[in-house]
Structure 1
C-alpha cells in the first residue's frame, strides 16, 4: 500500500514537492488555503531563473546599507526599526553566518545549476507554457566599486560551476540595445533564463492532478501534529473544521513554515522579507519595441527584470523587513516605475499592476530541505529570494529524503533537521 504524504502549501515549493513525490510513487495530498496554486509569493516575482543571483546576502555591506537606508522610505533595503524578538533573533543569526558567506554562495550556485535540468524537463514533459525566455541575464553596474564586487562574486560563482563574463558598456548595448543610461560595465550569464512563475506553478499543479495528487484548495491549515508514525492536519473549509491523517507531512508553507514547524517540535527561523514588483502591460507596438528581451539585474537599485511574452514587462526587487505586512506602499512602487522610465523611456507606463509578496528567508540564506525531529516530518522551505530558481532541485532532494526515510529505513527520519541548510547535492 502506498504511503500517503501531505504537502502543506501550494506555492512553487509545495507544488514541485507534490509533483516530485507523486512521480516517486507516493500517494499525495496538497493543502492550500487559496482557491488556486501560486496566489501569494509565487504569483508575480521577478521571473528570473538566475544562478547568477546566487550570492547570499550575509555580507558585511548588507548591514551597512541597512543602517544607512533605515530612514529612507524608497531604499532598496528597508528595515522597520520597530522591535520584535523574531526580527532580532533572525538578525543575530544572520550576522553569525557572515563568515559562511563564500561557502554558502558557492553551494547556492551549485543548487541553482542543478535545478535547471529538472525544471526544464518537467515543463517539457508536461507541456507547460510559462513564457520561458532563454536570453541570459545581464547584471549592470554604474560604478567601479559595484563592478569590482561583481568580479569577486564571479569567482565564487565559478567555483560553483557557473560561467559568466565581464562585458564593457559597448558590449552591454549590443546584448540589450534598448537599455538607456551610463554604465561602468556589466556581467553576462548566457545560461540563465526567465519565465512566469505563476504560469509554471499553476501548470505543474494541473500536472499533479493528472498524476493523482488530491488538491485541497481553499483549505486553511489550523494545526499540525505528528507522533512519528501518523501526521495529523486540522483544516477549515467553508466554515467546517476537519481532521485529516497521513503517513507523513511536508511543510512547504513559505513564511508560515516557522509556525507550523514549532507545532511539530522543530525550530525554523524563517522571516518574511517583503519584495515588490510591477507588471507593465504593453499593448502598443512602440512599448513592445522599447522593452528589453534580455533579463537585467541592477545591483545598485536591487531590481530585476523579465520580459514575459510580447506584451508584459516585469520589474521586481527591494527588500523590506516589516513582519507579516503585505501592504503595497506607493513610496515603494514609485522607484520601480521611475527606474523603467529612466532606463527604458520608450515604454508607456500608464498600465502598471503593482504587487507585493513575502519571501521566506532563513538567516543563512539556504533553504531547509530534509527531515524534522519526528520520523515522518519533512521540510522544503526557506528559499528566500531564489525560490523559483531552486525549487526543482530541492523538490527532487525532498523526494529522495522521504523515499529513504519512509520506505527504506524509517529509523533514519528522526535524525533532525540540519542547522546548516539540510542541503544535499543530489544529482540525476
Structure 2
C-alpha cells in the first residue's frame, strides 16, 4: 500500500483517486477551489459520447477555423493576438494530422471502455447523476457535410462503435420534438448523457467514505520529488501552509497541469480551449414536454445537448482559442439560446443560466496518461472536450502505472 497525492478534484482527479483507493492505496486529493468539480467539470455538455471521438486534427478543421476567424458567432474562434504557446500548439496540432485515423480509433476504444467503468462505479456507490441512456443523434443540415461524415463514421465503427446513418424521417422518429429540415444524421444508441458535476461530487463523497482526505481551498506552491517520496507544499484557507509527504503524486489539474509539469521538468503541452454552455430551466409543463430527451450533436452549429432530469436542458458548444480568459461573452452565449429557440420553439428561454470553462486540450487530442521524468510523478490530464467521456478509463490506466511503479520498486 502506498500513499498518493492527487492534484485536482475535477472528474479526472476524482476518478483517479477512486481507482487508486480501489487498489488499496491511501489517497489525498488537493484542489484550489472550495468544492470538487467547480471548473471544467461544472456545466459541460453532459455527453458520454464515444460518437464524438473523432479527433479534430484535419485540414478540414484548419480550413474552417480560418474561414471563421472574422465571425464573432462562429463555432470556432481563434484570437490572432501573438502568443508563442498558442501558435506552437497549433503547429504541433497540424503536425498530427497524419495521425488522424490512428488517434480516432484509439480514442473510440478508450471511450467505449470508459463508460463501462463509469456505469459500474455509479451503481456500486449509488451515485445519481441524471443518467439518460437514450443514445446520441448527430444531425446534418447540409447533404455534402453528411456525405463527407461517412469517412469519420467508418473510423468510429473500426474502433468498435455501433453507429449508423439515419434518414430525415428516422431522425423525426428518434426525437419527435425536433423542428427543421435535416439532410440526414448518424445515431449511436449506446451513448448516453449525465450531469458531470453531480457524478463527480458523488464520487468525491464515495472517496471520502473509503478513507480519502480531500484538502480544499488549497494552492499547490511546490512539488518536490526526492529520496523515494514526493513533498507537496500547499497553502490552504484553513491552514497557513502544509508540506504533505507521499510516495507519489498524480497531476490531474486540467489547464494548470502544464505549469505544474514545467516545475517538475516535464513538457505537458496543454492549451486552454474555452467552451460555453447554457442551462435552460424547464419551469413549465410545455417546455418540459417540448425539450428533447435524446442527446443531440448539431454538426453545422457544433452544438451538443443533454436532458438533465425533468427540469434542465443543457446546450453547449464553441471552441475559443483565447488563452486563460474565462469571461462569459454575450455574443458567444446568444447563438446557443437562438439555436434552442429555432429547433425547439415551444421551449421557454426566459430562464437561462450561462457558463464557461477551459478544456485542457493537447495537440494530439489524446490525454497525457504517463509517468514524469522524476521518480513518483504521474500525469492524467489533457482530456480536452472528452474528459467526461474518457476519465473513467484513463483513471484505470494511470492507477495501473502507479501499481507497476511500486511493484518494480519493491522487487
1: distance between equivalents of 2:99 and 2:224? 33
Partner of 1:119: 118
1: distance between equivalents of 2:358 and 2:340? 23
Q: Report how many aligned residue pairs link the two structures.
A: 410
Other structure's SS at 1:182 match: coil
CA apart distance, 1:378: 0.4
2: distance between equivalents of 1:371 and 1:209? 26
Partner of 2:402: 402
Other structure's SS at 1:364 match: coil
Partner of 1:333: 333
1:251-282 deviations in Å (ceiling 9; x for gaps)? 00000000001111110000000000000001
Other structure's SS at 2:60 match: helix
2: distance between equivalents of 1:85 and 1:128? 43
Partner of 2:343: 343
CA apart distance, 1:149: 2.2
Other structure's SS at 2:133 match: coil
CA change 1:411–1:267 in 2 (3 A) is farther
1:115-138 deviations in Å (ceiling 9; x for gaps)? 011000000000000000000000
2: distance between equivalents of 1:222 and 1:181? 53
Partner of 2:94: 95
Partner of 1:56: 55
Matches within 5 A, 1:366-377: 366-377=366-377
Q: What RMSD, in angstroms, separates the aligned Cα atoms of the two structures?
A: 1.1
Partner of 1:39: 38
1: distance between equivalents of 2:410 and 2:183? 56
CA apart distance, 1:411: 9.3
1:204-231 deviations in Å (ceiling 9; x for gaps)? 0000001101000111112222126221
2: distance between equivalents of 1:144 and 1:226? 56
TM-score by length of 1: 0.94
Partner of 1:162: 161
2: distance between equivalents of 1:68 and 1:83? 19
Q: Which moved more, 1:372-381 or 1:37-46?
A: 372-381
2: distance between equivalents of 1:293 and 1:116? 19
Partner of 2:392: 392
2: distance between equivalents of 1:149 and 1:157? 14
The unaligned stretches of length 5 or more in structure 2 are none
Q: Which moved more, 1:242-251 or 1:219-228?
A: 219-228
Is 1:354 equivalent to 2:354 in the alignment? yes
2: distance between equivalents of 1:311 and 1:358? 26
Deviating beyond 4 angstroms after TM superposition, the runs of 4 or more aligned structure 1 residues are none
2: distance between equivalents of 1:228 and 1:285? 63
1:7-58 deviations in Å (ceiling 9; x for gaps)? 0000000000000001111100000111111000000000000000001000
Partner of 2:303: 303
The unaligned stretches of length 5 or more in structure 1 are 413-428
Matches within 5 A, 1:159-308: 159-227=158-226, 229-238=228-237, 240-308=240-308
1:303-324 deviations in Å (ceiling 9; x for gaps)? 0000000010000011000000
Other structure's SS at 1:409 match: helix
1: distance between equivalents of 2:148 and 2:402? 40
1: distance between equivalents of 2:314 and 2:254? 22
2: distance between equivalents of 1:237 and 1:379? 23
Q: Which moved more, 1:304-313 or 1:229-238?
A: 229-238
1: distance between equivalents of 2:226 and 2:187? 50
2: distance between equivalents of 1:228 and 1:211? 29
Other structure's SS at 1:112 match: helix
Is 1:16 equivalent to 2:21 in the alignment? no
Q: Which moved more, 1:292-301 or 1:235-244?
A: 235-244
Partner of 1:426: none
1:56-84 deviations in Å (ceiling 9; x for gaps)? 00011111111111121111000001111
TM-score by length of 2: 0.98
1: distance between equivalents of 2:410 and 2:59? 41
